[in-house]
Structures are given as C-alpha cells and as structure tokens.
Amino acid sequence: MNQRLRLLRKLFLSTLYLSAFTFGGGYVIITLMKQKFVDHYHWIEEEEMLDLVAIAQSTPGAIAVNGAIVIGYKLAGPLGALVAIVGTVLPPFVIISLLSLCYETFQGLYAVQKILEGMQAGVGAVIASVAWDMGRGVVEERDTVSTVILIASFVASCFLEINVVYIILICGVLGVVRTLLEKRRAAK
Amino acid sequence: MIYWQLFLSFIQIGLFSFGGGYAAMPLIQGQVVTLHQWLNMEEFTNLITISQMTPGPIAINSATFVGMKIAGVPGALVATLGCILPACILVTVLAKLYLRYRNLSVLQSVLHSLRPAVVALIAAAGVSILLTAFWGTGAAVTLAGTNWVLVVLFALCVVLLKRFRWNPILVMVLAGVLNLAAGLLRF
C-alpha cells in the first residue's frame, strides 16, 4: 500500500511538473512524458509507450491530457488516471484563472490593447504557418480522397459556415467506409 | 443554467477535437463565439494568443478562461470538467481494450481520413482570425478599412516563421511590441 502511494505521488508530481513547464503543443509534452516514464523511471516499455501515444492521438481531446490518462491508467488503474489528469490540468487551470482576472483589468490600457492587437497578426501568422505545413503534408501524400476532403472541408467551414462538428462527423464516417472498402479489396 | 450550458458546450469541444492542439480551435470558435457569443472574435483571438504563451492545451485554457469570464471559478471548473470528461471515458476504455487486444489499425486508418479535414478546419479558423485582425470584428472587408500595419506585421511574421524558423512565441511578442511602437509613433 505504501509503495502504491509512493507511485501515485511520483506520478502526480511528474505530470504536474511536465504540464507546468511545457510550452508548445501536445506533441512536445508527449515526448517529455516518454523521456520521464520510459527512459528515466523505466515504468513503461518503449514499444508499449508508442502504442499508448497512438491511443492518446486517436482519441478526441487534448493530447497532453489523453497521454496523462493512458499512462496513469497503465501504471495504476483508474486511480492512476485520475491522479495524472489532476496533475496535468491543475497548472493551466490556475495560470489561466489568474490571467483572466488580470486580463479584465489591463485590457483597457492603451499599451496592452496595441500589443494584443499586434499579436493577433502574429498568432494569425503562426496558425497560417502550421496549416500550411500540415496541408502540404496532406497534398504530398498524393491521395486524391485526402486532397478532396481537405478542400471540401475548408470550403464548407470557411465559406458555407457549416458547423465544425458535422464536418468532423461526416469525415469520420467517410473514413470508416473507406477503411472497410480497403479491407474488402485486400481480402479479395 | 449557465453552468449546464458551459458544461455541454465544452463536452462537445472535448468530444470532437481530433488531433490535439490547434484542432480544438475551430470547435471552440464555433461554440464560444458563433453559437453562444460568450466571447467576440477579438476576445477569442486574444484567448488563443494567451494560450500560445502559457503552458497547457488550448482546449483546457479556453475552458478555464471562458468559464471564469462567464461564471467565475465554478464556471471555470464546470467548463474544464466538461472539456476533459469525454477523453477520460474514451481513453480509459481504449486503453483497457488495447491492454487486452492490442490492435489499433482500424482506428489509425480512420484517423488518417480525419486528418485532412482537421487541417482544413485549422486553416479556416486562421482565416477568420486574420479577417478580424485586418478589418475588425464583424466589419466589412474594404480597402479603406484595412489595418495595414497588421497586414505588414502578418507578412513579417510569416517570413520570420517560415524562412528563419523563429520561435512562435517570440514572433508573436515581436508583433505585439512592433504594433505598439507603430501606434506610439503615429501620435
């Protein structure tokens, strides 16, 4: 029992630490989790970790949270998952809560307004750059269906203003149908 | 019943954002800006900017931020809980199935089909952020109404990011400071 408590405490502290100091996206934190739990603590095998990461990526939601859940669950069952979730969510929750209070106060200042306005152009550029890289990855697969999905989804969201949830649902169904067709073709 | 609405909205965001990070952005925009008008487009863009500069996933940051703004700390708790609930259930079930059967190929190939859609939705969200930056919230797109300083800053940022591989946070801070400088010099 004592050993289990120690494991849970270590799990909590590691996820808390990783979440508080990881800037920039789920893939970064997943890499750091691998370093911590596979290379440092030797709690999980490398190959198993890759599969757990695949689960974290294939499930909807933030990759950092999903990663924490699979690792916590694998190490200590539902309680482990819970501990890992709390550890991961706590830092952003506290930071953003505090920031949202200051934000209201500072928002009226001229300098803050101008900086935020300028940063809109910056964040637009960051998103454009990410979308460009990812989009090129899709187009370079030279898979007609993927390219059509890419263009159709963009038109549907940007010009027709169709709800994002429907677009994702339709593409998900399309993916299932496509996979089934490919499996049937391969079986023949 | 604002708590219930927050909870339901963020459950949808948690449930349909495949691919992490930016993938949640169009969904958050749909729920928070378009549907419930809890934030306007400008506040939403500020939220994305803040999310970029603080640790933590965009979805969690947004849930906390919107919840705080709409209904204080209980609101933030409810929204954040809603945001992670779908993942908690789905990931645990999948992890359980995996530890028993260890076969994920179908899921992986479905994901392969979802990816182009997610990329397109990220691009579309980027477009609406830029429209707001260049022409203001809900304003008409006209040549005279264009904020040229921001257009130039955008072009500069793209070059710094793509050509010189600058760190995104640094690029955003620079854009903010340059815009302030431009504003001060004009007066």
Q: Which of residues 6-65 of B touch A (CB under 8 A)?
A: 12, 14-22, 24-27, 29-30, 42, 45-46, 48-50, 52-61, 64-65
8 A C-beta contact, residue B88 and residue B11? no
Residue B137: per-residue pLDDT: 67
Report how far residue A68's alpha carbon sits from residue A59's, in angstroms, rounded to the nearest whole number.
Answer: 13
What part of A 29-68 touches B (C-beta under 8 Å)? 51-52, 54-66
- Compute the distance between CA of residue A18 and CA of residue A68 in angstroms, rounded to an integer: 10
- Going from N- to C-terminal start, the domains of chain A cover 1-106
Residues of chain B with pLDDT under 50: 187
Q: What confidence tens digit (pLDDT) does each residue in A19-49 have?
A: 887 765 666 777 788 888 888 899 988 878 8
DSSP character for A24?
Answer: S
Q: Do B123 and A154 touch (CB under 8 A)?
A: yes
Residues of B in contact with A54 (CB under 8 A): 104, 108
Q: What's the gap between Cα A114 and its chain centre?
A: 30
Interface pTM, i.e. ipTM: 0.80
The minimal CB distance from B124 to the residues A20, A26, A157 is found for A157
DSSP state letters, B72-91? HHHHHHHHHHHHHHHHHHHH
- 75-94 in B: which are within 8 Å (CB) of A? 76, 80, 83-84, 86-88, 90-92, 94
Among A25, A28, A75, smallest CA distance to A49 is for A75
A122-145 residue pLDDT tens: 888 988 988 888 889 888 888 888
Q: What are the structural domain ranges in chain B?
A: 2-103
Model pLDDT for residues A75-122, shown as the tens digit of each residue? 999 999 999 999 999 999 999 999 888 877 777 788 888 888 888 898
Q: Is B128 on the interface with A (CB under 8 A)?
A: yes
The chain-wide mean pLDDT, for chain B, equals 87
DSSP-assigned letters across all residues of A130-150: HHHHHHHHHHHTT-HHHHHHH
Pair A129, B158: CB distance under 8 Å: yes
Instruction: Return the pLDDT at A107.
Output: 73
**Distance (Å) of CA B91 to CA A160, A168, B37, B94:** 33, 19, 31, 5
> What residues in A contact B74, CB-CB < 8 Å?
none
**Which strand (E) or helix (H) includes residue A1?**
none
pLDDT digits (tens, 9 = 90+) for A152-181: 999 998 888 888 888 888 888 888 888 888
Q: What is the pLDDT of residue B100?
A: 76
Q: Which residues in chain A have Cβ-Cβ distances shorter than 8 Å to B121?
A: 153-154, 157, 164, 167-168
The whole-number pLDDT of residue A1 equals: 65
Structure tokens at B119: 């990329």
Q: How far apart are alpha carbons B124 and A167 in whole angstroms?
A: 12
pLDDT for A58-70, tens place per residue? 788 888 899 999 9
Contact yes or no for B108 and A58 at CB 8 A: yes
Say yes or no for a CB contact (<8 Å) between B115 and A103: no
The first and second tokens of residue A106, run together, are 């500072």
User: Which A residues 61-120 touch B at CB under 8 Å?
Assistant: 61-66, 69-70, 73-74, 78, 81, 85, 89, 91-93, 95-97, 99-101, 103-104, 110-111, 114-120
Chain B environment of A98 (Cβ under 8 Å): none
How many angstroms separate the CA atoms of A174 and A164, rounded? 15
